[in-house]
């Protein structure tokens, strides 16, 4: 058998070549259970109660499972939920499953993050942006 270096090692045998993935030196930890518990999943039915009637500012992450940039900012939203604690409610809404709310707020691209305070939309962030950008936007309404 021969091993070739690269992103994917190829193991050659007498009969066939079989690709064996090379393990990355980076370790990706699963999202914290605490962080996942801190972010509330909302939908067309629960949006009003969870977001518009909230006594604290609310971050709403509009996302879809097929959206790569949405998956990039998901851990950021999780971290912000833990960091802000009871001062901010962080929510996520799947635009494929809840198109009514997305349409009502004119969501045309995802990820889109909206900040609500007192039941009113205060700010919009479109695209996968750094954590600092989202935090600065949140801080304006705290």
- The residues annotated with a catalytic role in the active site are 67, 70
Burial of residue 82 (number of CB atoms within 10 Å: 0-12, 13-18, 19+): middle
Helix (H) or strand (E) holding 18: strand 17-21
Identify the CA nearest to 42 among candidates 96, 87, 91, 81. 91
Q: Which residues pair with 137 in a beta bridge?
A: none
Four-CA torsion 135, 51, 56, 88, nearest 10 degrees: -30
Tokens of 126: 């479109």
Taking the CA atoms of 20, 26, 27 and 28 in sequence, report the sign of the dihedral they define.
negative
């Amino acid at each position: 058998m021969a091993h070739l270096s690269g992103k994917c090692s190829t193991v050659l045998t007498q009969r066939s070549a079989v690709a064996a993935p090379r393990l990355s030196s980076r370790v990706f930890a699963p999202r914290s259970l605490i962080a996942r518990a801190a972010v509330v999943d909302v939908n067309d039915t629960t949006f009003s109660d969870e977001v518009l009637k909230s006594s604290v500012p609310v971050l709403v992450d509009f996302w879809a499972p097929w959206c790569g940039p949405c998956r990039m900012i998901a851990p950021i939203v999780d971290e912000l939920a833990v960091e802000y604690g009871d001062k901010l409610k962080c929510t996520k809404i799947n635009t494929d499953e809840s198109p009514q709310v997305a349409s009502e707020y004119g969501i045309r691209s995802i990820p889109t993050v909206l900040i609500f305070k007192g039941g009113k939309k205060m700010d919009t962030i479109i695209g996968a942006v750094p954590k600092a950008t989202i935090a600065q936007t949140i801080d304006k309404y705290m």
